[in-house]
């Protein structure tokens, strides 16, 4: 990528931004890789801005009525998992138009060569890239805008988003260099915990994903206790017992995934889980994992179901969050227009 000159990053206050696409029901992967971290960061007292990125979701086809439902369900999941809309800003992306405005400017900063290297586009577009939407290709520039429009300095994400965050840094640095300013911060990805990449329950080499055609491949935050237990019972494994050391999980993707999930849910390290279950058969380990998953996820599911009974209240929370988000984004967007040479004579 570019070989930018980095400008000193002294004047930016710590601020966290992250988002989740309402492109389906949220999964255990979204929970462990993102949502659980979002709550921890809020509870650490850092300023936190969280977003249901509906504009990202439409980079692949979304039925409009389902998209609305999934956005509300996503908001309910955030709140049920512990996001407090008073302490964090919680909203849906399309209500703050500055995201799309900055994305256009970043489309003009990012280079085709950079975008061509994005592996998520290759994975999602598949063999027929010609038929993919232009939005799917430009997705990382919108993601960079989501973060930079708040001058966010840290972004908690799962492992799969690392490359997009590197691109965000490149776009910010190129913008700063092109215009001779120190305006956009160089963001830090926060990829933390034992389960930064939760894999499919049917294939330990594939990411657990809300858009996987097989419902058996994932645990949804809306699954009840029986469904969670059944999915874990049927999860693909190998015939060997669990090893004595974490190193013994190498080349055993399905076993490694289940141990990582256990560690992520229990808050233990992988070494601690292995120490407890060394030599255990999956017939013993899987019911323990199911018990733990139900204990951790059931209260979230119950609370989500309660919140979903009042969609107007969810919409109100998202609207209030959007107002607060806009109050931060608007001055940054105005300054961006000024830096890039746009006349803004309609505003004071």
Q: Catalytic site residues?
A: 124, 207, 210
Query: Which is nearer to ligand AQP, 48 or 209 (by Cβ)?
Result: 209
Classify burial at 347, counting beta carbons within 10 Å of its beta carbon; exposed 0-12, middle 13-18, buried 19 or more: exposed
Query: Which is nearer to ligand AQP, 27 or 222 (by Cβ)?
Result: 27
Query: Which residue reads 């080499």 in tokens?
Result: 205
Tell me the sheet residues that pair with 199. Answer: 207
Q: Kindly state the smallest distance separating residue 104's Cβ from ligand AQP, in Å.
A: 21
Q: Kindly state the smallest distance separating residue 175's Cβ from ligand AQP, in Å.
A: 23
Rounded distance between C-alpha atoms, residue 117 and residue 193, angstroms? 27
Rounded distance between C-alpha atoms, residue 47 and residue 45, angstroms? 6
CA distances from 329 to 102, 145, 322, 343, 344 (A): 10, 10, 10, 18, 16
Query: Which is nearer to ligand AQP, 101 or 160 (by Cβ)?
Result: 160
Query: Which is nearer to ligand AQP, 29 or 243 (by Cβ)?
Result: 29
Q: Kindly state the smallest distance separating residue 57's Cβ from ligand AQP, in Å.
A: 7
159 DSSP assignment: G
Q: Kindly state the smallest distance separating residue 177's Cβ from ligand AQP, in Å.
A: 28
Tell me the sheet residues that pair with 190. Answer: 156
**Which stretches of the chain bind ligand AQP, using CB under 6 A?**
20-21, 23-24, 27, 29-30, 32-34, 157-158, 160-161, 196-198, 207-211
Rounded distance between C-alpha atoms, residue 323 and residue 258, angstroms? 41
Query: Which residue reads 């993102």 in tokens?
Result: 34
């Amino acid at each position: 990528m570019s070989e930018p000159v980095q400008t000193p990053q002294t004047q930016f206050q710590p601020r966290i931004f992250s988002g989740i696409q309402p492109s389906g029901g949220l999964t255990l992967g979204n929970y462990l890789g993102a949502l659980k971290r979002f709550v921890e960061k809020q509870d650490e007292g850092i300023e936190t801005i969280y977003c249901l990125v509906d504009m990202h979701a439409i980079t692949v086809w979304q039925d409009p009525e389902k998209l609305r439902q999934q956005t509300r369900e996503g908001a309910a999941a955030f709140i049920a998992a512990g996001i407090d809309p008073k302490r964090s800003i919680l909203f849906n992306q399309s209500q703050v138009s500055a995201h799309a405005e900055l994305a256009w400017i970043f489309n003009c900063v990012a280079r085709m060569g950079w975008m061509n290297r994005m592996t998520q586009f290759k994975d999602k577009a598949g063999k027929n890239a010609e038929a993919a939407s232009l939005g799917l290709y430009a997705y990382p520039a919108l993601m960079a805008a989501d973060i930079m429009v708040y001058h966010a300095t840290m972004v908690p994400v799962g492992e799969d988003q690392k490359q997009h965050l590197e691109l965000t840094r490149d776009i910010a640095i190129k913008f700063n260099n092109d215009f001779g300013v120190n305006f956009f911060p160089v963001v830090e990805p926060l990829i933390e915990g034992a389960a930064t990449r939760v894999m499919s329950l049917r294939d330990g080499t594939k990411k657990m994903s809300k858009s996987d055609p097989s419902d058996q491949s994932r645990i949804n935050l809306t699954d009840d206790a029986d469904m969670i237990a059944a999915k874990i019972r049927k999860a693909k494994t190998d015939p060997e017992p669990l090893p004595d050391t974490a190193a013994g999980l190498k080349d055993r993707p399905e076993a490694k995934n289940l141990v990582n999930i256990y560690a992520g849910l229990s808050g233990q390290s992988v070494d601690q889980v292995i120490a407890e279950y060394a030599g255990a058969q999956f017939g013993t380990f899987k019911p323990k994992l199911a018990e733990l998953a139900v204990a951790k996820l059931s209260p979230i599911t119950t609370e989500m179901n309660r919140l979903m009974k009042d969609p107007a209240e969810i919409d109100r929370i998202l609207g209030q969050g959007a107002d607060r988000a806009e109050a931060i984004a608007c001055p940054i967007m105005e300054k961006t227009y000024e830096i890039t040479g746009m006349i803004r004579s309609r505003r004071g």
